[in-house]
Structure 1
Amino acid sequence: MVALHARRSFPAIDTFHRQRPEQPLIVALTGTDLYGDLKTSAEAQQSLELASRLIVLQPKGIEELSPHLHAKTHVIYQSVVGPKQPPAKPKTTFDVCVLGHMRDVKDPFRTALASRLLPSSSRIRVLHVGKALSDDMEVAARAEADANPRYHWLGELQRWRARQVLARSHLMVLSSVMEGGANVISEALAVPVPVFASRISGSIGLLGPDYPGYFPVGDTQALAQLLEKAEHDTGFYQELNAWCRQLAPLVHPDRERESWRQLLADLAA
């Protein structure tokens, strides 16, 4: 059995373990598990103990687990099939993509707020793909689009269209307060499209501690400075691009398949 979410899946995990205690049980941990539920939920903690193996989506996730769990924990990066030929990027605008449904944990309007601080000469557009998950978020998104000419809310798109917006963008921003290992980073690396990310454990685990595209969580000014630098400093933009190209093999499907093969071989040993 493979279960996603230690706390939410606890009833199924507990039932499976009681009915088939000799069968392997794999629990894949999300950001909600690692950076939230494991600190407060006895059920989430029990799921980890019952599991034969644990999966985290980036190496720093292991640091959130008790040392006695490390040996049975595997890192499996989420893979993405990149485009055979990335599309051309617009030349009259410098497009910055934000991907993700609007929830507080995503800090969804941070990039829009940062774009307000840019000089009038900037060519930056913010293209926000994602559904408003509450009436308040929808009101906020429409108000921001009305007040901020740089901000374009595209709403919820089919996955292929969202990935097309990403591939045509010059940058992607992930401003989340918490992530376990965001799939949108994998999608950006697969193109590749350079990433600006809030300095949180889940993103550092994917991009590395020395990646040059971090900003402090919620720091609008710092993000605005990074955006302006990427637009105008060719050397900096090329550094970001080269870094992401170097990381792209981490999210290749062959690597994920091999990681699963190793996990299953470990279980069978």
Structure 2
Amino acid sequence: MRRRILIISPAAARDNNGNWQTASRWARFLRGHCQVEVARDWSEQDPAPDLLVALHARRSAAALAAFTARHPDRPSVLVLTGTDLYRDIAIDANARASLHRAHALVLLQPAGLALLPNDLRSRAHVIYQSAPSLRPHARSPNARHRDICMVGHLREEKDPLTFIRAAGLVTAPGARLLHIGGALDPALGEAAAQAESPRYHWLGALPHAAARQRLKRCHAMAITSKMEGGANVIIEAVTSGVPVLASDIDGNRGMLGEDYAGYFPAGDAAALARLIDRSITDPHFDTLLRGQCAARALLFAPAAEQAAVCKLVDNLLFAAPGAPNQYDRSLGAP
């Protein structure tokens, strides 16, 4: 009988956010070897999986607590998000308890390791997320617009106001700032709808594939977040040949590297505007950013993420009590 894995995700497909993309991708990686289900919750009345994967320390805390209390001998994995690392584990008791309950902790970039208690770091595994590479868009030197795209729902953590304000400060000819994302915060949605700069265009929420195709055609992508665990949109930009202009926060540094040239101080719209202008008007700077992003692309290959996910799950299932008699370290073996 194939082993059963349950992935608890606080987000569903309709949310089309980073948590859902992670849950969906991991399920796809593991389905060739195990029975995999994605759900919003788990309780003692539900069938027990052989292994539980929980996304988000705070929002999946109840499911993880119930599972580890009822089945302490069955392994569990906690995937830590940006709000977990950079907010919740410092202020929320349930989020902190999740860290101690899980058999393994997964971080999406290495900078987050410093936020974990020393006694838990031995449980931590860094697994970069991934995206299939897309053929870079052939840019025309005579194009009317140089599009800078932000991909992220309108909520406080993503800091869309910095992107909106930057639109009014950019001076490069042809610069156009496109924002893809739904208004999770109504006040931020109103701010986007009423933005005065003619350079700013809010496109609303788009299906994932359509958003990626639009991103692929952009001159650069801006990520203005105040906190990130390991942003999918960085990966999707890099694997599409689109350079990134990123807020200078730990989560983005963990993805792009300490020496990356495309950072601006978080919340500084004027600095972002200057970076946008430079990326458009300075060919040498544009080439530098593209080269640095291309050097990171191998980290974000689907084969690398799948191998790391399967190895982690394989080792946890093998180490579970009673497993050596029924499991030969090959995922899904009878």
Same fold (TM over 0.5): yes
Residue matched to 1:81: 132
Equivalent in the alignment of 2:154: 102
Query: Are 2:306 and 1:257 aligned?
Result: yes
Alignment of 1:92-171 (within 5 A): 92-119=144-171, 122-144=173-195, 147-171=196-220
Calculate percent identity across the aligned residue pairs: 44
What is the 5 A alignment of 1:142-221? 142-144=193-195, 147-221=196-270
Counterpart in the other structure of 1:51:
102
Structure 2 residue aligned with 1:23: 74
Instruction: Name the SS of the counterpart of 1:111 in structure 2.
Output: helix
Instruction: Please name the residue that 2:54 is paired with.
Output: 3
Q: Is the 8 A contact 1:126 1:152 kept in 2?
A: yes
Q: Is the 8 A contact 1:56 1:76 kept in 2?
A: yes
Deviations 1:231-261 (A, max 9, x none): 1110110000011111011111001011113
Corresponding residue for residue 293 of structure 2: 244
* Larger Rg, first or second structure (1 or 2): 2
Once structures 1 and 2 are overlaid, which stretch shifts more, 129-138 or 91-100? 129-138
In 2, Cα distance between the equivalents of 1:10 and 1:61?
19
Name stretches of at least 5 consecutive residues in structure 2 with no aligned partner.
1-51, 320-334
Letter in 2 for 1:113: R
Alignment-derived partner of residue 18 in structure 2: none
The count of residues paired between Structure 1 and Structure 2 equals 265
Aligned-residue CA RMSD (Å): 1.4
Amino acid at match of 1:158: P
Amino acid at match of 2:243: P
Contact 1:112 1:150 in 2 (8 A): no
Structure 1 counterpart SS, 2:160: coil
Superposition deviation, residue 14 in structure 1: 1.5
Q: Which amino acid aligns with 2:162?
A: R
Name the one with the larger helix percent: 1
Counterpart amino acid of residue 43 in structure 1: N
Shift of residue 118 of structure 1? 2.6
3-state DSSP of counterpart to 1:27: strand
SS in structure 2 opposite 1:173?
Answer: strand
- Code of the aligned partner of 2:68: H
Contact 1:126–1:150 (CA under 8 A) maintained in structure 2: yes
